[in-house]
Amino acid sequence: MYIESPRYTERFGSVRMNYVQMVVALDSGTKSELPPHGAMGVMKIDEETIKHFEDKMAIVIPIKDEKLKLFEGVISGIPHDCLVITVSNSQIEKIDRFRMEGDALNQICRFTSREALIVHQKDPAIAESLAEAGYNDLLGEDGLVRDGKCAAMVIGLLMAKAAGKEYVGFVDADNYFPGAILEYVRNYAAGFSMAKSDYSMVRILWHYKPKLSAGLYFKKWGRVSEITNKYLNDLISSKIGFETEVVKTGNAGEHAISMKLAEILPYAAGYAVEPQELVSIFENFGGILPTRERKVMEQGVDIFQIETRNPHLHEEKGDEHLKDMILSALSTIYHSPLCDKELKQAVLSELVRQSIIKEGEEPLPLHITAAPKKMDTKKFVAAIQEDFDKYRALQ
């Protein structure tokens, strides 16, 4: 593919956050000449490089009661060499949707001889292995894994680790365009190929997000993203003393992380998970607060933001959760030790302006799951590996 070269990088301690890079063309052929490096501000990432990273990557699909046709489409878009890991919280009683998902996955894997794993979030065996490894943050009062996409992501990334993968990417199950999924994963691979550090992250910015109102309208920015990005940028600006607009992917659900970085990040519940990753990276490696991760400070953390060619179209589940999204994102900033008094006040005013909290109220602290590395991952991985066959889509 052809992609804009990283033109400008914001440095924040040992974090290197790159400005958005646009995909120029989805394919770069095998014959075409490589432009003189950087001459046109465009880089060629050849197919071999993309395949090299896809082979080391697991793609985690969190799913909860989505239309089966959408799920099938999503799987069909994931490059063949990636290991597919489906973490489902779909209903089992009455209609066993989890079983239907397993059957659909099994069929595709048979037709295409590919590998995939599928696990139910509420599988007691998973909860047991987590408890044994001391990872109680993920467990609810009933002793099973909590609800929510965040818990699914963490289980998925631990399974990716158990399968020996070096990168883990996430894609939602409710996407209408298999071609967009294919592009997201190729963009993940392209991003990782540009990283200098073993600790890297690739976040997707959708070119357009069409809305079905009167006709199809290709909307460039979501309102929620705009607010999230503004305050994430303000958080950086307040620390480096220069205004920046580098963050454009605060809410990016579609993102991928190198396993080494994924293991040392905490994960917040609900809609806070994606912005919290950035806040935690700034906190841990931004050079302002003390860190225990000396190796990371030496290598640095590379963050890439890649703008897709495909538009993003997913199931619309109504507007009620927009306020919840803003509250979650801004809570991550409000409760960060990096957030100074002035920014806290600005966050409160924004939340009052959006009628999300009342004057005098504060956002509640979020439930945050500790970084996987803080628990005995080896124990969990060993327990999962023992049961691996049970989770294979192809039995």
Which chain residues interact with Co ion by CB under 5 A? 172, 174, 314
Per-residue string for binding with ligand GDP, 294-333, x by CB under 6 A?
--------------------x--x----------------
Interface with ligand GDP, residue 281, by CB under 6 A = no
CB atoms under 10 Å from CB of 34, counted, come to 9
Residues 189-218 that bind ligand GDP (CB under 6 A): none
CB atoms under 10 Å from CB of 295, counted, come to 11
Interface with ligand GDP, residue 13, by CB under 6 A = no
Q: Residue 148's binding partner, choosing from ligand GDP, Co ion, none, with beta-carbon cut-off 5 to 8 A by kind?
A: ligand GDP
Our CB check for ligand GDP shows the closer of 53 and 71 to be 71
Our CB check for Co ion shows the closer of 11 and 321 to be 321
CB 215 within 8 A of CB 236: no
Q: Residue 230's binding partner, choosing from Co ion, ligand GDP, none, with beta-carbon cut-off 5 to 8 A by kind?
A: none
- Shortest spacing between CB 167 and ligand GDP, in angstroms: 20
Q: Which of 87, 180, 281, 366 binds ligand GDP (CB under 6 A)?
A: 87
Residues 6+ apart with CB under 8 A from 251: 222, 224, 225, 228, 271, 274, 275, 325, 329
Interface with ligand GDP, residue 255, by CB under 6 A = no
Residues 331-350 that bind ligand GDP (CB under 6 A): none
Instruction: Please state, in angstroms and rounded to a whole number, the distance separating the CA atoms of residues 89 and 86.
Output: 10
Our CB check for Co ion shows the closer of 172 and 254 to be 172
Decide: residue 345, CB within 10 A, 0-12 exposed, 13-18 middle, 19+ buried.
Answer: exposed
- Shortest spacing between CB 221 and ligand GDP, in angstroms: 15
What does residue 334 show for φ and ψ, rounded to 5 degrees? -60, -40
Spatial CA neighbour of 20 closest among 280, 387, 331, 305:
305
Interface with ligand GDP, residue 89, by CB under 6 A = yes
Our CB check for ligand GDP shows the closer of 66 and 137 to be 66
Spatial CA neighbour of 159 closest among 251, 72, 237, 84:
84
Q: Residue 249's binding partner, choosing from Co ion, ligand GDP, none, with beta-carbon cut-off 5 to 8 A by kind?
A: none
Our CB check for Co ion shows the closer of 191 and 253 to be 253
- Shortest spacing between CB 7 and Co ion, in angstroms: 31
- Shortest spacing between CB 206 and ligand GDP, in angstroms: 11
Structure tokens at 96: 């066993």
C-alpha separations of 199 from 194, 209, 245, 259, 281 in Å: 12, 29, 23, 8, 10
Q: State CA 60 to chain mean position distance.
A: 9
CB 102 within 8 A of CB 392: no
Interface with ligand GDP, residue 273, by CB under 6 A = no
Interface with ligand GDP, residue 123, by CB under 6 A = no
Residues 147-186 that bind ligand GDP (CB under 6 A): 147-149, 152, 172-174
Our CB check for Co ion shows the closer of 174 and 274 to be 174
Q: Among the candidate windows 61-69, 235-243, 278-286, 375-383, which touches ligand GDP by CB under 6 A?
A: 61-69
Pick left, alpha or beta for residue 315 (phi over 0 → left; psi -120 to 50 → alpha; otherwise beta).
beta
Instruction: Print burial letters for 139-160: b (CB count within 10 Å at least 16), e (below 16).
Output: beeeebbbebbbbbbbbbbbbb
CB 70 within 8 A of CB 81: no
- Shortest spacing between CB 54 and ligand GDP, in angstroms: 21
Instruction: Please state, in angstroms and rounded to a whole number, the distance separating the CA atoms of residues 302 and 376.
Output: 26
Interface with ligand GDP, residue 63, by CB under 6 A = yes
Q: In the chain, how long is the greatest CA-to-CA distance?
A: 64
Interface with ligand GDP, residue 88, by CB under 6 A = yes
Structure tokens at 14: 């040992």
Interface with ligand GDP, residue 253, by CB under 6 A = yes
| Binding footprint of ligand GDP on the chain (CB under 6 A) | 62-64, 66, 87-89, 121, 147-149, 152, 172-174, 253, 314, 317
